[in-house]
């Protein structure tokens, strides 16, 4: 049966989605002790009901759930325009499974079993990253990308159609590139700027691919976020 439970403390509000009642209760208790407000949902349907009434700061979601699984829920939320950061919990440690999560729109992932302290650390890292994009200098101004402009200080990408929806991870990635325009950044440097130094090269490639879909007129022929073979990526602002 679907379950939605709330805690009632101060600070960022998390939604934990996991069909394992024991783990769900443990996570709710631990994260509450860490100073978060925590609501817990037993499945995707319960999560949707919670999301309909509350603006959460971050979702912690299991992949394997009955009915609509975690990846399917993430893909659906992103299609609906939900930009809330998502940390995926997965018992599947294979790189392909983690890449699938990033492709679906997940901001970070953590393999089971995990140390709860690492979970709290990753949550705080994502929240910091989404609250304040990692720019190198406070004076970094808006960057032109064709008919659109990215403002690192406001964490906004705007064009003739209005504001372009970016996830927290996409905003952080674009901010990192915009802080050093026309300078090649290695995948390792990008991962460090995103607060995920353990991310592999393929994970960074997936995140760049997702961002290009929102920035480039033709993602297959990128004009602004260019690949420099064997070195990394470079942002080329302009018309």
Alpha carbon distance 158, 147 (integer Å): 9
* Successive 10-residue mean pLDDT values, the chain, 239 residues: 50 94 95 96 95 93 91 92 90 72 87 91 88 52 94 89 87 92 95 78 89 94 96 94
| Tens digit of each residue's pLDDT (9 = 90 or more) over 5-51 | 554 445 899 999 999 999 999 999 999 999 999 999 999 999 999 99
Alpha carbon distance 73, 203 (integer Å): 20
Q: Kindly report the CA angle at 97 between 96 and 98, in degrees rounded to 5?
A: 90
Asked if residue 111 lies in contact with residue 80, where contact means CB atoms within 8 angstroms, the answer is no
Domains of the chain: 4-131 (3.40.50.2300), 143-235 (1.10.10.10)
The predicted structure's pLDDT at residue 137 = 46
Longest dimension (CA), the chain: 54
Asked if residue 202 lies in contact with residue 97, where contact means CB atoms within 8 angstroms, the answer is no
* φ, ψ dihedrals at 179, nearest 5°: -70, -20
- 40 closest CA partner among 66, 13, 11: 13
Asked if residue 58 lies in contact with residue 14, where contact means CB atoms within 8 angstroms, the answer is yes
The predicted structure's pLDDT at residue 123 = 95
The predicted structure's pLDDT at residue 124 = 93
The predicted structure's pLDDT at residue 136 = 45
> pTM score > 0.75 for this model?
no
Alpha carbon distance 74, 61 (integer Å): 9
- All residues at 6 or more sequence positions from 203 whose CB lies less than 8 Å from its CB, including other chains: 98, 99, 102, 191, 196
The predicted structure's pLDDT at residue 142 = 92
Strand bridging mode 225-228 / 232-235: antiparallel
């Amino acid at each position: 049966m679907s379950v939605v439970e709330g805690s009632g403390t101060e600070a960022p509000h998390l939604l934990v989605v996991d069909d394992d009642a024991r783990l769900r209760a443990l996570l709710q208790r631990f994260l509450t002790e860490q100073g978060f407000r925590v609501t817990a949902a037993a499945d995707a349907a319960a999560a949707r009901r919670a999301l309909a009434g509350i603006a959460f700061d971050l979702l912690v979601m299991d992949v394997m759930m009955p009915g609509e699984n975690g990846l399917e829920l993430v893909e659906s939320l992103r299609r609906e325009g939900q930009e809330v950061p998502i940390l995926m919990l997965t018992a599947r440690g294979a790189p392909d499974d983690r890449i699938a999560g990033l492709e679906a729109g997940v901001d970070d992932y953590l393999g089971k079993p995990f140390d709860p302290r690492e979970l709290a650390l990753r949550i705080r890292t994502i929240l910091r990253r989404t609250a304040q994009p990692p720019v190198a200098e406070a004076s970094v101004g808006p960057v032109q990308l064709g008919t659109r402009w990215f403002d690192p200080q406001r964490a906004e990408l705007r064009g003739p159609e209005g504001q372009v929806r970016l996830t927290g991870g996409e905003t952080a990635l674009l901010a990192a590139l915009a802080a050093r325009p026309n300078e090649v950044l290695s995948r390792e440097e990008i991962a460090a700027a995103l607060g995920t130094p353990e991310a592999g090269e393929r994970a960074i490639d997936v995140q760049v691919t997702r961002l290009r879909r929102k920035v480039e007129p033709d993602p297959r022929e990128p004009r602004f976020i260019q690949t420099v073979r064997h070195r990394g990526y470079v942002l080329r602002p302009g018309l």
